[in-house]
């Protein structure tokens, strides 16, 4: 009986992880691309430099491909709380539904309506007016991020609520506190900045591949796009690292266990605390060894000063037992998965630093009037391959956030095991897991394949093809 | 009028608007097989809803979100109870949603055809399964005291639910054809009208069977005889209005008629459900609106939010439709709209 119970929870968790991770490949990329395409079209509207119009159209196609997959995988999210996590929905309905509904009303309508207009009105509006449509779409996607993150932040750090003793359900007491949740306003900038970073890195990378083809008429286009992408990567890699640092300060305050696991600390550190670059973690016996350390750095990261020790998981586990044993019993395991957190964090930050490094050299070597970068084929290949790493970084970041919430689904209030739908069966969950897996493999594969094809055709494909400057979203573009 | 009841009505309204709008999207998708003769025509059909389908689908997402935000116990019980059906609805919506974008990028005719079929299949599956689910749910299903629903296969698939699914799908197709008559010119438009001349009589037969089955298989007419009768008559009346528009070649009347017919189906279901949100075979386990609802505080906030945002959404939503009124000609490559 216990075996079956466990596998229902793990299947439901696996499905949630799979659907959200897959969805979140496309979300940050679409948010970032929306903003960057809007910037390109605005530059065109102001400077009337035609290459920026070509850029808006070409990168707009990649944006639309990603947006399409993002939307359809997003629909799943609106329903799966009820489908797979009905006990969670009952418990959290008073708090959690509101941001979701507001997200739909405030954000989804803006993005869906204005993207429809933008796609089909290239030749109808003046550039400035047309750019307004994509700006609205981009703003819609960012508004949507605020509300879903408001919901998630409540799960990380509940605010503005009480437990209704009659129903046993959560009751909202202060909507303002849900919106003002400090977690939200730390995580939101981090997510948005990383989203723009993702899009910038992909634009730079695809442009690098395009430049390597050495087609004369495309050279200016891809060179401009490459520089644009590299500058965006550089600026937003720095900014999102900064935002991440601010978010860390909040986590130390609200979820010290998550922070301790992220740094792989079991015993309280000495003062000042060294930062562990790598170590081996034995999570069965709660021991870490073979640390390679940088002195004082953890104090600096955690408190922005050269002193102060950091509490380890052993201490925090005792504290959490003292705090929650009355409500949840003595058998709870409050250790979050330290290996996942420790390495996810290092992958995420490593990727950010790597992109920063690539972008610095790229920006230097791609200065106009110099062909330095075209002659460094090895470097162009690196920029091209870097397309994939921000997606890994984004997922790693969410692994830290979400696995670090263990064993809670709502921090300190509701455990994951209690949240799953009582109607779930292993059979139905296996069916949906397999179905989603196959579907996502297909969608992801096709999306990447078509993006590659789009790049292969280059920005001037339609024009060469139909001998006239046609609207890429008009019927001609469909038929050919 | 309590706030909980108001939100029950609002959710019904959101579903009704969703069916009115996405109903013709689904119908246009289905007509790629029932009406179009070649790929150009299928593409013209697809482009006719290109700027709108995503916005239309957002009404469904909003209805789901609003249900979570106001009647979470309905959201939890309904969605977890109909897990497999909803999963297939989602799969339908997914393959359909990406087909709009993917068909543009496919380079071989096979590739284009695959996504066109995905468009068709999704447009067929989603309304059929959604209507089937709703018509199954209003008959009453096995539930426990916790509100968990355990419908068995024949609770989900039975005479009324299948007839309801077919009728909803057929009505969507008819609605889509009426939309095509509004948005496309040339032979496609004439054929849409001719096809509807055949489909309407079948639809009327279906609506009568549907009404009879609702009479016997649900408690709508024992609990709320007057209103159920009036709404049922309205469904038929609006369909008649649509048929009148077909005969007189007035596509505006037809479109309004078929859309309102679809909306009235939702009104009938929500009217019959009231004051319940879920009907259990054991009446003691049925869930009432007042028990399913969120706190007064949350509902008040949501009411204010909706009162402010819905009118704004309505304005730019309707405005976006006014941008695309020029008819599409499938034969002319220069068509831009």
Q: List pLDDT tens digits, range B193-208.
A: 999 999 999 999 999 9
Tens of pLDDT along B286-316?
Answer: 999 999 999 999 999 999 999 999 999 999 9
- Domain membership of residue B306 (yes or no) is no
pLDDT higher than 90, residue B328: no
pLDDT higher than 60, residue A4: no
Enumerate the residues of chain B whose CB falls inside 8 A of the CB of residue A116: 50-55, 320
- Domain membership of residue B151 (yes or no) is yes
- Average of per-residue pLDDT across B62-91: 96
Tell me, yes or no, whether A139 and A103 share the same domain: yes
In this complex, do A113 and B90 lie within 8 Å of one another by their Cβ atoms? no
Give the residues across from A292 on adjacent strands.
A278
Site of tokens 């439901």: A12
Please tell me the predicted confidence (pLDDT) of residue A472. 45
pLDDT higher than 80, residue A454: yes
Tell me, yes or no, whether A388 and A429 share the same domain: yes
CB of B86 less than 8 A from some CB of A: yes
Instruction: Report ipTM (2 d.p.).
Output: 0.94
Tens of pLDDT along B247-286?
Answer: 999 999 999 999 999 999 999 999 999 999 999 999 999 9
d(CA A277, CA A292): 6
- A86: closest chain B residue by CA: B76
Confidence of residue A464 (pLDDT cuts 50, 70, 90): very low
In this complex, do B333 and A476 lie within 8 Å of one another by their Cβ atoms? yes
Please tell me the predicted confidence (pLDDT) of residue A462. 65
Peptide bond connecting B180 to the previous residue in cis, omega within 30 degrees of 0 = no
Q: Mutate which of A84, A94, A106, A433 to disrupt the B interface (most B C-beta within 10 Å)?
A: A94
The answer to pTM > 0.80 is yes
- Domain membership of residue B177 (yes or no) is no
d(CA B277, CA B298): 19
Tell me which residue of A195, A201, A300 sits closest to A245, measured CA to CA: A300
- Domain membership of residue B146 (yes or no) is yes
pLDDT higher than 50, residue A478: no
Helices (H), ranges, B138-186:
153-156, 159-183
- Å between B148 CA and nearest CA of chain A: 6
Domain finish residue from A319, A336, A353: A336
Confidence of residue A470 (pLDDT cuts 50, 70, 90): very low
In this complex, do A75 and B68 lie within 8 Å of one another by their Cβ atoms? no
pLDDT higher than 80, residue A476: no
- Å between A472 CA and nearest CA of chain B: 10
- Å between B114 CA and nearest CA of chain A: 12
- Domain membership of residue B206 (yes or no) is yes
Tens of pLDDT along A347-386?
Answer: 999 999 999 999 999 999 988 777 778 889 999 999 999 9
SS3 A147: helix
Enumerate the residues of chain B whose CB falls inside 8 A of the CB of residue A471: 336
Please tell me the predicted confidence (pLDDT) of residue B78. 97
| Nearest CB partner across the interface for A423, out of B102, B150, B306 | B150
Domain finish residue from A282, A301, A336: A336
In the stretch 200-219 of chain B, residues with CB closer than 8 A to chain A read none
Please tell me the predicted confidence (pLDDT) of residue B197. 96
Please tell me the predicted confidence (pLDDT) of residue A283. 87
In this complex, do A78 and B65 lie within 8 Å of one another by their Cβ atoms? yes
Q: What are the DSSP calls for B81-114, one per residue?
A: HTHHHHHHHHHHHHHHHHHHHHHHH--SHHHHHH
pLDDT higher than 90, residue B98: yes
Tell me, yes or no, whether A10 and A74 share the same domain: yes
Please tell me the predicted confidence (pLDDT) of residue B260. 97
In this complex, do A423 and B337 lie within 8 Å of one another by their Cβ atoms? no
Tens of pLDDT along B142-192?
Answer: 999 999 999 999 999 999 999 999 999 999 999 999 999 999 988 999 999
Domain that holds residue B91: 7-155+184-293
- Rounded to the nearest 10 degrees, the angle between the axes of helix A426-457 and helix B83-105 is 10
Domain that holds residue A287: 256-336
Please tell me the predicted confidence (pLDDT) of residue A251. 93
CB of A123 less than 8 A from some CB of B: yes
Say if CB A248 and CB A189 are below 8 A apart.
Answer: no
- Domain membership of residue B165 (yes or no) is no
Site of tokens 């779930």: A424
CB of B290 less than 8 A from some CB of A: no
- Average of per-residue pLDDT across A428-450: 95
Enumerate the residues of chain B whose CB falls inside 8 A of the CB of residue A453: 105, 107
CB of A92 less than 8 A from some CB of B: yes
Confidence of residue B234 (pLDDT cuts 50, 70, 90): very high
Residue A369 region, left (φ>0) first, then alpha (ψ -120 to 50), else beta?
left
Tens of pLDDT along A201-246?
Answer: 999 999 999 999 888 889 999 999 999 999 999 999 999 999 999 9
Report how far apart, in Å, the C-alpha atoms of A58 and of each of A62, A63, A207, A471 are.
Answer: 7, 9, 11, 12
Please tell me the predicted confidence (pLDDT) of residue B332. 64
Tens of pLDDT along A16-56?
Answer: 999 999 999 999 999 999 999 999 999 999 999 999 999 99
d(CA B92, CA A300): 52
- A431: closest chain B residue by CA: B84
In this complex, do A454 and B105 lie within 8 Å of one another by their Cβ atoms? yes
In the stretch 419-438 of chain A, residues with CB closer than 8 A to chain B read 421-424, 428, 431-432, 435
Tell me, yes or no, whether A249 and A271 share the same domain: no
Number of domains in chain B: 1
Tell me which residue of B72, B60, B58 sits closest to B299, measured CA to CA: B72
- Average of per-residue pLDDT across B3-15: 97
- Domain membership of residue B264 (yes or no) is yes
Cα first-last separation, chain A? 58
In this complex, do A422 and B97 lie within 8 Å of one another by their Cβ atoms? no
| Nearest CB partner across the interface for A446, out of B50, B54, B102 | B102
Please tell me the predicted confidence (pLDDT) of residue A6. 53
In this complex, do A120 and B44 lie within 8 Å of one another by their Cβ atoms? no
In this complex, do A428 and B84 lie within 8 Å of one another by their Cβ atoms? yes
Number of domains in chain A: 2
Show Cβ contacts of residue A272 under 8 Å, excluding neighbours closer than 6 positions: A295, A296, A298, A299, A306, A307, A308, A309
- Å between B133 CA and nearest CA of chain A: 14
In the stretch 10-49 of chain B, residues with CB closer than 8 A to chain A read 40, 43-44, 47
- A101: closest chain B residue by CA: B65
- Domain membership of residue B173 (yes or no) is no
Tell me, yes or no, whether A198 and A311 share the same domain: no
Domain finish residue from A336, A369, A404: A336
| Nearest CB partner across the interface for B54, out of A115, A453, A454 | A115
């Amino acid at each position: 009986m216990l075996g079956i119970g466990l596998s229902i929870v793990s299947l439901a968790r696996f499905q949630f992880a799979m659907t959200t991770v897959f969805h979140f490949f496309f979300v940050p990329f679409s948010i970032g691309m929306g903003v960057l395409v809007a910037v390109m079209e605005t530059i065109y509207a102001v400077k009337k430099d035609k290459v920026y119009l070509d850029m808006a159209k070409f990168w707009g196609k990649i944006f639309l491909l990603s947006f399409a997959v993002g939307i359809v995988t997003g629909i799943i999210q609106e329903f799966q709380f009820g489908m797979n996590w009905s006990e969670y929905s009952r418990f959290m309905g008073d708090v959690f539904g509101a941001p979701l509904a507001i997200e739909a009303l405030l954000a989804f309508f803006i993005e869906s309506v204005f993207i429809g207009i933008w796609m089909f009105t290239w030749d109808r509006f003046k550039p400035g007016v047309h750019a307004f449509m994509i700006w609205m779409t981009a703003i819609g996607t960012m508004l949507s991020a605020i509300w879903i993150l408001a919901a998630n932040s409540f799960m990380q750090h509940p605010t503005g609520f009480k437990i209704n003793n009659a129903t046993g359900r959560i009751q909202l007491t202060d909507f303002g506190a849900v919106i003002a949740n400090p977690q939200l306003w730390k995580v939101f900038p981090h997510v948005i900045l990383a989203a723009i970073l993702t899009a910038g890195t992909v634009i730079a990378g695809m442009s690098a591949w395009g430049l390597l083809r050495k087609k004369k008429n495309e050279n200016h286009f891809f060179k401009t796009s490459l520089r644009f992408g590299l500058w965006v990567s550089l600026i937003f890699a720095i900014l999102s690292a900064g935002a991440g640092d601010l978010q860390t300060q909040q986590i130390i305050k609200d979820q010290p266990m998550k922070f301790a696991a992220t740094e792989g600390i079991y015993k309280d550190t000495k003062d000042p605390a060294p930062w562990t670059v790598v170590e081996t973690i034995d999570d069965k016996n709660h021991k870490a060894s073979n640390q390679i350390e940088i002195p004082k750095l953890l104090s600096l990261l955690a408190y922005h000063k050269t002193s102060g020790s950091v509490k380890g998981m052993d201490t925090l586990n005792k504290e959490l037992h003292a705090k929650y044993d009355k409500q949840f019993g003595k058998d709870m395991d409050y250790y979050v998965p330290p290996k996942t957190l420790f390495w996810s964090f290092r992958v995420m930050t490593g990727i950010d630093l790597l992109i920063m490094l690539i972008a610095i050299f790229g920006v230097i070597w791609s200065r106009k009037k110099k062909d330095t970068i075209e002659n460094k084929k090895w470097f162009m290949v690196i920029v091209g391959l870097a397309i994939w790493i921000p997606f890994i970084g984004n997922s790693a970041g969410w692994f830290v956030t979400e696995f670090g919430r263990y064993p809670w689904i709502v921090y300190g209030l509701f455990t994951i095991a209690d949240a799953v739908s009582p109607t779930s069966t292993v059979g139905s969950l296996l069916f949906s897991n397999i179905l989603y897996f196959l579907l996502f493999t297909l969608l992801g594969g096709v999306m990447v394949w078509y993006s590659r094809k789009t790049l292969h055709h280059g920005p001037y494909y339609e024009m060469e093809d139909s001998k006239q400057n046609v609207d890429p979203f008009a019927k001609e573009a469909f038929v050919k | 009028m309590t706030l909980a009841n108001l939100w029950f009505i609002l959710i019904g309204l959101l579903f009704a608007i969703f069916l009115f709008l996405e109903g013709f999207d689904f119908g246009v998708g289905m007509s790629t097989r029932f009406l179009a003769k070649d790929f150009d025509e299928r593409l013209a059909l697809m482009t006719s809803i290109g700027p709108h389908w995503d916005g239309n689908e957002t009404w469904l997402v909003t209805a789901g979100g609003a249900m979570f935000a106001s009647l979470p116990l309905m959201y939890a019980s309904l969605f977890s109870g109909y897990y497999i059906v909803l999963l297939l609805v989602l799969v339908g919506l997914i393959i359909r949603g990406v087909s709009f974008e993917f068909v543009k990028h496919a380079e071989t005719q096979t590739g284009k055809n695959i996504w066109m079929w995905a468009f068709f299949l999704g447009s067929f599956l989603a309304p059929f399964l959604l209507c089937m689910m709703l018509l199954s749910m209003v008959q009453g299903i096995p539930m426990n005291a916790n509100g968990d629903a355990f419908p068995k296969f024949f609770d989900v698939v039975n005479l009324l639910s299948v007839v309801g699914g077919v009728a909803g799908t057929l009505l969507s197709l008819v609605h889509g054809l009426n939309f095509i008559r509004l948005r496309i010119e040339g032979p496609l438009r004439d054929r849409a009208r001719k096809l509807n001349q055949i489909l309407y009589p079948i639809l009327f037969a279906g609506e009568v069977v549907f009404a009879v089955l609702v009479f016997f298989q649900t408690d709508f007419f024992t609990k709320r005889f007057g209103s159920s009768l009036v709404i049922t008559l309205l469904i038929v009346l609006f369909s008649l209005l649509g048929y009148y528009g077909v005969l007189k070649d007035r596509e505006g009347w037809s479109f309004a008629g078929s859309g309102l017919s679809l909306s009235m189906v939702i009104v009938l279901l929500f009217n019959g459900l009231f004051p319940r949100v879920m009907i259990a075979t054991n009446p003691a386990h049925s869930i009432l609106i007042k028990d399913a609802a969120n706190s007064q505080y949350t509902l008040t906030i949501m009411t204010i939010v909706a009162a402010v945002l819905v009118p704004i959404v309505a304005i730019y939503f309707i405005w976006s439709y006014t941008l695309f009124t020029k008819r599409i000609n499938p034969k002319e490559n220069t068509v831009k709209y």
